[in-house]
Amino acid sequence: MIFVTGGAGYIGSHTCVELLQAGHQVTVFDNLSNASAESLARVAQITGLGVHFVEGDIRDGAALTQALRQSGARQVVHFAGLKAVGESVEQPLRYYDNNVVGTVRLLEAMQAAGANQLVFSSSATVYGNPQQLPLTEDHPLSATNPYGQTKLVIENMLRELQASNPAWRIG
């Protein structure tokens, strides 16, 4: 079982298709703020398999913990987050609350549920204005907007979590 936050979104739903076709069972946790449950119906139509869907907000630690425990998942793919650069400039606190606080709640829920494997969907915005192309992962980090900054904060938090406890497997 794999737990996918933001699994009803564009990238999340495509990932669900791939996971199901690879033989995994999937639980999707999504508040549908940037997605539609219709995308999950399309996942089932494409694969002939359904996902277990839990509607909830990533900032709701109790709901996350309950959903993770009920799913039995030990692996999480994390797509849930606000993602519009322009909007993040206009509403930075909303982005920090949803993206950073939401990820903290997810990590706490994972600890409580005994899940320690995470794939995080970051963004090339963490590199700021490219110094060279193509971008590689060793490019200097320098976010230039609140959205990119939230992704960078999360990446740093995940590195520090993994360094503090090598049982965490984060990619």
DSSP result, 63-78: HHHHHHHHHT--EEEE
d(CA 104, CA 154): 9
Q: Are strands 2-5 and 26-30 parallel, antiparallel or unpaired?
A: parallel
Distance from first CA to last CA of the chain, Å, rounded?
A: 18
**Residue pair 66/54 in contact by the 8 Å Cβ criterion:** no
d(CA 52, CA 75): 15
**Amino acid letter, residue 129:** N
Task: For residue 96, indicate whether it is catalytic.
Answer: no
- 100 Cβ contact partners less than 8 Å away, ≥ 6 residues apart: 150, 153, 154, 157
Catalytic positions are: 147
